[in-house]
């Protein structure tokens, strides 16, 4: 997996982009030369901290690649980015698309979020409904209607035909399809991963990986990477 932090022109944006790459388990980083030069000191300080290690999280956010590629009216990249940033405050998450779902991606996940409206393939919708029926929860944020391509129906309609009621976030179970209107409604059912390091109390974001935990302090533009001791023996801290 690779990421491109396009149009990063400020130090804070550069730090955020690098952390997102780390949090999502990117194995390569690509950036436009002009962006690197504009945030050179941040790149020098933070990029060496990146460690390739798959994230260990049961939560996924859906990336609507079909909507983006087809330039579907109403799709907003800015809205998607803003809402994924809010989700990061509530919990760690990974990113998936239709092709990953077709490869069996949801077998290791517990919660799947649709943060903006999406147009998906019929086979993707069927896989998501099966996931909601058998082993996980699907969350639709506010106006995030999921439409099935080439069909005059939606993910919610398909779920209802399969006997799955679309509920609100006041009665959440282990499986199902849910609408939610604010982050606290969904967040209380997830393991929160925004926390404060005891040494200085500065707020940060934490992402768990198989071998380590990565923390990002936004105000300080600083990473802290700590090995996960449980199950891996005693390791020294890397910062």
State pLDDT tens for residues 25-67.
877 777 777 777 778 888 888 888 888 888 889 999 999 999 9
Q: Across-strand partners of 209?
A: 55
Q: Assess whether pLDDT exceeds 80 at residue 80.
A: yes
Q: How many CB atoms lie within 10 A of CB 132?
A: 23
In a domain, 213, yes or no: no
In a domain, 74, yes or no: yes
* Spatial distance between the Cα atoms of 138 and 144, rounded to a whole number of angstroms: 12
Domain hosting residue 76, numbered range: 59-187
Please state the pTM of the whole predicted model: 0.84
Could you report the per-residue pLDDT of 159-197, keeping only the tens digit for each? 999 999 899 998 899 999 999 998 888 988 987 666 666
pLDDT of 46? 81
Q: Residues 3-13: what's their mean pLDDT?
A: 67
* Spatial distance between the Cα atoms of 144 and 15, rounded to a whole number of angstroms: 29
Burial class (CB in 10 A: 0-12, 13-18, 19+), 188: exposed
Positive or negative, the CA dihedral 220, 222, 227, 230 is positive
In a domain, 179, yes or no: yes
Q: Measuring CA to CA, which residue among 6, 16, 83, 96 is closest to residue 54?
A: 96
Q: Assess whether pLDDT exceeds 80 at residue 148.
A: yes
Q: How confident is the model at residue 106 (pLDDT cuts 50, 70, 90)?
A: very high
In a domain, 82, yes or no: yes
Q: Residues 120-128: what's their mean pLDDT?
A: 96
In a domain, 200, yes or no: no
Q: Confirm if 171 and 178 have CB atoms less than 8 A apart.
A: no
pLDDT of 3? 63
pLDDT of 233? 37
Name the H helices within 70-161.
77-90, 98-102, 122-134, 155-161
Q: What are phi and psi of 206, to 5 degrees?
A: -120, 140
In a domain, 114, yes or no: yes
In a domain, 145, yes or no: yes
Q: Assess whether pLDDT exceeds 90 at residue 124.
A: yes
Q: Assess whether pLDDT exceeds 90 at residue 129.
A: yes
How many domains does one find in the chain? 1
In a domain, 100, yes or no: yes
pLDDT of 160? 94
């Amino acid at each position: 997996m690779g990421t491109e932090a396009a149009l990063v022109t400020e130090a804070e944006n550069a730090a955020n982009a690098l952390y997102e790459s780390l949090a999502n388990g990117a194995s390569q980083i690509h950036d436009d030369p002009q962006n690197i030069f504009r945030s050179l000191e941040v790149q020098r300080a933070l990029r060496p901290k990146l460690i390739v290690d798959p994230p260990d999280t049961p939560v996924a956010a859906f990336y609507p690649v079909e909507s983006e590629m087809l330039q579907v009216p109403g799709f907003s990249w800015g809205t998607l980015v803003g809402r994924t940033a809010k989700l990061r405050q509530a919990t760690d998450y990974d990113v998936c698309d239709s092709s990953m779902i077709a490869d069996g991606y949801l077998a290791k996940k517990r919660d799947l979020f649709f943060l903006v409206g999406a147009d998906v393939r019929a086979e993707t919708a069927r896989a998501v409904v099966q996931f909601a029926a058998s082993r996980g929860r699907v969350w639709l944020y506010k106006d995030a209607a999921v439409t099935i391509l080439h069909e005059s129906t939606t993910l919610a309609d398909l779920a209802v035909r399969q006997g799955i009621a679309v509920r609100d976030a006041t009665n959440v179970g282990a499986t199902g399809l849910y609408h939610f209107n604010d982050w606290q409604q969904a967040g209380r059912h997830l393991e929160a991963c925004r926390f404060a390091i005891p040494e200085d109390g500065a707020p940060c974001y934490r992402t768990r990986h198989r071998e380590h935990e990565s923390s990002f302090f936004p105000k300080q533009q600083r990473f802290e990477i700590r090995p996960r001791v449980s199950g891996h023996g005693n390791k020294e801290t890397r910062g």
